Homo-oligomer: A and B are copies of this chain.
């Protein structure tokens, strides 16, 4: 039997720290089944370094881990465990570059307005790193996400807190009723392979080709436009409405994943909210390089170059705004960080479920939770949150003890429906027409646009759609659960998809299955009506809803999306096992640095690695891998039942302690099982050693807490130093090493 490999990703922040403790455990256990765990660095820092490696000295270069894994996805042997990573916003990129340069990398700054060739080159390299740059490369399959039975069972027995909902809650979602992407969407399906051009036609008739796109037969191409005038009017109107009705105003966008379109949307919110400031200091801000798309933080950052008196004047002008505007939701009320400070702080898919779980409230300036107007300009998806809010007002909060589950089958293979993230989104410099033209010069789609509008196109290939339909049907069959295809009748794109879905459904035996096609509002309502009755419903959705719903429902059901099992069955036969969600990881790192306590829960990694082992076991007939998988699942269940997950509180069990318990339970399960005597014999001494030394190890792990820990970096840590911090128990390390 040849050696099999699991490619385990090194990412960022808390998950990367946890890896330092956890990977040695996985590696130790795996080698007994002839499985190797290979660490592949795809952290933001490593992606930056490798992008510039041709310009760096040899000792500073780094391999392109992401490229390597991307190529691997084409192989049926691909078995990747993918941890959450940073989808970098501009401020995060700035910070990472700064840190690397402090470490002596000498990287160029990110040029916002490149003029020289060198600057253009640098910007192009950085552009590939920004936002959701990792997932589209690796996700060469559709998505299968669900709450594992053990996790769901645990949540039912140990329900997380859920804020009660009042019938008198004034919280609501607010979204545009026109002028947004939803209302302007156009969509076509290609009849044959051909290359189309995206063109801007100026009012003088001049034609500028913005992009050429090679498309293949069956591919769905969408285009849509967000009117900046309508967007700004919408923001102003919601601010007035919030002020008039004395309700907090809270912006929820997706500036990370939708890295081109949503920072612009965010920037409009900043300049409308702080209208008085930007009207007065607009010219000055331009000169000193303020970019509102980076949030109000950009103002505070850039004015540091100004004389102190002027700085104070501007700060006062900002404070003055708060008297005329409604209260603004806070990210950190102690530090005065609002929702508009940094675009990456409030990410709709995580922030809206948090709000819903928190009785529909956001945090105010006074540090208390208040009802809020959740402003989500794009109406396509915002409406589902209003539906949830109405449901909670009517029926009260969801109850984790009794509620059913909503697993997701999501369309995402081959960069399907990557809206607004990438190279087909344009902020328009002038009035004119955006159009898509085919090789014969026929105009396939077009929009009249105005200066400042955001126009974007989006591709979805046919093969992924067909595979997605198959995956939806397969999951419905395997789990004996109704499945709903979320397709909005009134959306141009979904109308195209519906034709394909109805066609491809016919390729499967649907006998005895309960398959529906519903618009979003109806689908979420249907799912909620079932969930409160304890019934399960598979959501079969496009890419964005996949992203949103696999936070929304898990956060209600399990208290976190990090506990979901997330599988990407690759189109070419391999598999990727994604873990957790990075939403709150920055806070975790901060706590570690200040108090040497890491509250990150590696449950997602436990679940993913078990499925990863299982897959190798099936594919290579590796019986030991199957036993490892089975015992790992049992150990995870025991860890949940005995409450050995990390506590949020310094001094109590943290990420490292939970890893120890996982190892102990896993070794115990392996020693106790009778499926494979060799493994039982092998792990018996380890089980004994860990069991006997439990008190010592726990004490060693607890001892280090409470003091500051020096990480040597935030984005680019020294892994040896991290290992010292993350593996402080000599007893535990020695027991592992002795296997």
Report if A167 contacts B (CB, 8 A).
yes
A174–B169 alpha-carbon span in the complex (Å)? 14
Q: Does A241 contact B (CB under 8 A)?
A: yes
The residue on B at minimum CB distance from A396 is: B177
CA of A521 to CA of B167 in the docked complex: distance in angstroms?
Answer: 18
- Which residues 518-539 of A sit at the B interface, judged by CB distance below 8 A? 521, 525, 529
CB contact list, A162-205 vs B, under 8 A: 166-170, 172, 174
Q: How far is it, in angstroms, between the C-alpha of A10 and the C-alpha of B422 when the chains are bound?
A: 75
CA distance A651 to B394 in the complex (A): 47
A373 CB-CB contact with B under 8 Å: yes
Q: Does A254 contact B (CB under 8 A)?
A: no
Query: Is A226 located at the chain interface by the 8 A CB criterion?
Result: no
The answer to whether A247 and B386 have CB atoms under 8 Å apart is no
- Say whether A245 faces chain B, with CB atoms less than 8 Å apart: yes
The residue in A168, A172, A245, A373 that gathers the most chain B C-beta atoms within 10 A of its C-beta is: A168
Return the contact of A169 from the options B166, B170, B386, B529 (Cβ within 8 A).
B170
Partner of A390, one of B170, B245, B371, B394: B394
From A167, A169, A371, residue with most partner B Cβ within 10 Å: A167
Q: Which residues of B contact A241 (CB under 8 A)?
A: 167
Q: Could you tell me if B168 and A247 are in contact, using CB atoms closer than 8 angstroms?
A: yes
Question: Which residues of A219-252 are within 8 A (CB) of B?
Answer: 241, 245, 247
What is the CA–CA distance of A679 and B202 in the complex, to the nearest angstrom? 69
Whether a CB of chain B sits under 8 angstroms from the CB of A145 is no
Nearest neighbor of A170 in chain B, beta-carbon distance: B168
Do residues B170 and A170 form an inter-chain contact, with CB atoms below 8 A? Answer: yes
- Is residue A393 within 8 Å, beta carbon to beta carbon, of the partner chain? yes
Q: Which of B167, B390, B525 contacts A373 (CB 8 A)?
A: B167
Instruction: For the complex formed, measure the closest distance between the CB of A372 and the CB atoms of chain B, giving whole angstroms.
Output: 10
User: In the complex, which residue of chain B has the Cβ closest to the Cβ of A387?
Assistant: B394
Chain B residues with CB below 8 A from A373, complex form? 167-168
* A395 nearest CB neighbor, chain B only: B177
Q: How far is the CA of A273 from the CA of B248 in the complex (A)?
A: 34
B245 touches A168 (CB 8 A): yes
Classify the interface of chain A: helix, strand, loop or mixed: mixed
Instruction: Evaluate contact between B393 and A172: CB separation under 8 angstroms.
Output: yes
Chain A contacts with B in 320-378, Cβ cutoff 8 A: 371, 373
Task: Please give the distance in Å from A455's CB to the nearest CB on chain B.
Answer: 27
Question: Residues 385-399 of chain A: 1 if any B CB is under 8 Å from the residue's CB, otherwise 0?
Answer: 010001001100000
B-facing mask of A134-175, CB < 8 A → 1, else 0? 000000000000000000000000000000001111101010
- The closest CB in chain B to the CB of A174 belongs to B167
Within the complex, the shortest CB–CB distance from A334 to chain B, in Å, comes to 28
Q: How large is the interface on A (under 10, 10 to 19, 20 to 34, 35 or more residues)?
A: 10 to 19
Please give me the residue from chain B that is nearest to A172 by CB atom. Answer: B167
Q: Which residue of B lies closest to A383 (CB)?
A: B394
Q: For residue A391, which residue of chain B has the nearest CB?
A: B390
Is the Cβ of A245 less than 8 Å from the Cβ of B166?
yes
A701 to B732, CA, bound (A): 103
A394 to chain B, nearest CB (A): 5
Given contacts A166-B245, A245-B166, A373-B167, is CB(A172)–CB(B394) below 8 Å? yes
Task: Please give me the residue from chain B that is nearest to A169 by CB atom.
Answer: B170
In the assembled complex, the CB of A373 is this many whole angstroms from the nearest CB of chain B, namely 7
Bound-state Cα–Cα, A371 to B373, Å: 18
Interface string of A14-29 (1 = CB under 8 A from B): 0000000000000000
B contact residues around A168 at 8 Å (CB): 170, 172, 245, 247, 371, 373
Whole-angstrom CA separation of A116 from B167 in the bound complex: 51
CA distance A168 to B390 in the complex (A): 12
Per the bound structure, the CA–CA distance linking A604 and B371 in Å amounts to: 46
**CB proximity of A384 to chain B, nearest CB, Å:** 12
With a cutoff of 8 Å between Cβ atoms, the chain B residues found around residue A245 in the complex are 166-168
Write the A113-126 contact mask toward B (1 if CB under 8 angstroms, else 0): 00000000000000
Bound Cα distance from A233 to B4, whole angstroms: 65
Chain B positions within 8 Å of A166 at CB level: 245
How far is it, in angstroms, between the C-alpha of A109 and the C-alpha of B174 when the chains are bound? 59
Q: Hey, which chain B residues are within 8 Å of A174, CB to CB?
A: 167
In Å, the complex CA distance between A170 and B170 comes to: 6
Closest Cβ–Cβ distance, residue A327 to chain B (whole Å): 13
Q: Mark A615-653, 1 if CB is under 8 A from B, else 0.
A: 000000000000000000000000000000000000000
CA distance A394 to B529 in the complex (A): 19
State the CA gap A172–B170 with chains docked (Å).
11
**Hey, which chain B residues are within 8 Å of A529, CB to CB?**
521
Task: Give the residue name and chain of the B residue nearest to A519 (CB).
Answer: B529
A174 CA to B393 CA, complexed, in Å: 11
A167 to B169, CA, bound (A): 10
Chain B residue nearest to A533 (CB atoms) is B490
Q: Compute how far the CA of A167 lies from the CA of B166 in the bound complex, rounded to whole angstroms.
A: 15
Residues in B neighbouring A167, C-beta threshold 8 A = 170, 172, 174, 241, 245, 373
Measured CA separation A525–B524 after assembly (Å): 14
Query: What CA separation (Å) do A170 and B172 show in the bound complex?
Result: 11
Which residue of the partner chain B has the closest CB to A529? Answer: B521
Which of B247, B386, B525 contacts A394 (CB under 8 A)? B386
Q: Give Cα A247 to B168, complex, Å.
A: 8
A166 to B168, CA, bound (A): 13
A169 to B241, CA, bound (A): 12
Q: Which residues of B lie under 8 Å from residue A172 when comparing CB positions?
A: 167-168, 393-394
Question: What CA separation (Å) do A247 and B393 show in the bound complex?
Answer: 15
Cβ contacts under 8 Å, A394 to chain B: 172, 386, 390
Least CB separation from A490: chain B residue? B533
Which of A169, A170, A393, A394 is packed against the most chain B CB atoms within 10 Å?
A394
How distant is A725 from chain B, measured CB to nearest CB, in Å?
A: 48
Q: How far is it, in angstroms, between the C-alpha of A684 and the C-alpha of B205 when the chains are bound? A: 68
Contact partners of A525 in chain B: CB under 8 A: 525
Residues of chain B with a CB closer than 8 A to A386's CB: 394
A241 CB, nearest partner CB in chain B, Å: 7
Closest chain B CB from A486 CB (angstroms): 16
Closest to A386 in B: B394
Nearest CB in chain B: distance from A514 CB, A = 14
A247 to B166, CA, bound (A): 12
By a CB distance below 8 angstroms, the chain B residues around A170 are 167-170
A371 to B245, CA, bound (A): 13
Pull 18 A–B residue pairs with CB atoms less than 8 Å apart, ordered by A. A166-B245, A167-B172, A167-B174, A167-B241, A167-B245, A168-B170, A168-B247, A168-B371, A169-B170, A170-B170, A172-B393, A172-B394, A386-B394, A390-B390, A390-B393, A390-B394, A521-B529, A525-B525
Apart from A170-B170, A390-B393, A521-B529, what are 5 other A-B pairs with CB-CB below 8 Å? A168-B247, A168-B371, A172-B393, A390-B394, A525-B525
4 nearest A-B residue pairs (beta carbon): A168-B170, A390-B390, A168-B245, A167-B172
